[in-house]
Amino acid sequence: MSYTVKNGKKFRGMERQAMTFKEKLIKLGEENGLWQREAEQIVEAMITDDNAGHKTMAGRWNDDVDGYPPQMIAVLWMSFKFIADKWLAEHKPMHWARPMFTSND
């Protein structure tokens, strides 16, 4: 069997592309009903939101997600959903995917 080594990881049969935190959140947003541009705008809102506590992520948004524990994406996804709900309420209150990001609390 042939293996490809990329970023210190072995993959059988095909080369894996590194994914940054930004790219991963955008992909998750798209998988939950957003258009790519909408997901990109929400990620940018996350990065610039001083109240969201993302200052610890400064300088890490473009890091490879595989270099961190999976819990990082889980926590960022919860924050993405919260900010997506606020963003959609302000910009697209009738968006069909809004319930995907609305908390049931």
Between CA 35 and CA 84 the distance in angstroms is 12
Predicted confidence (pLDDT) per residue in 16-45, tens digit: 578 999 999 999 999 999 999 999 999 999
Between CA 82 and CA 105 the distance in angstroms is 12
Between CA 42 and CA 37 the distance in angstroms is 9
Predicted confidence (pLDDT) per residue in 46-82, tens digit: 998 877 667 788 889 999 999 999 999 999 999 999 9
What integer pLDDT is reported at residue 19 of this predicted model? 93
Query: Which residue in the block uniquely carries the two structure tokens 């990065």?
Result: 47
Question: Are 41 and 90 contacting, i.e. CB atoms less than 8 angstroms apart?
Answer: no
Question: Are 64 and 18 contacting, i.e. CB atoms less than 8 angstroms apart?
Answer: yes
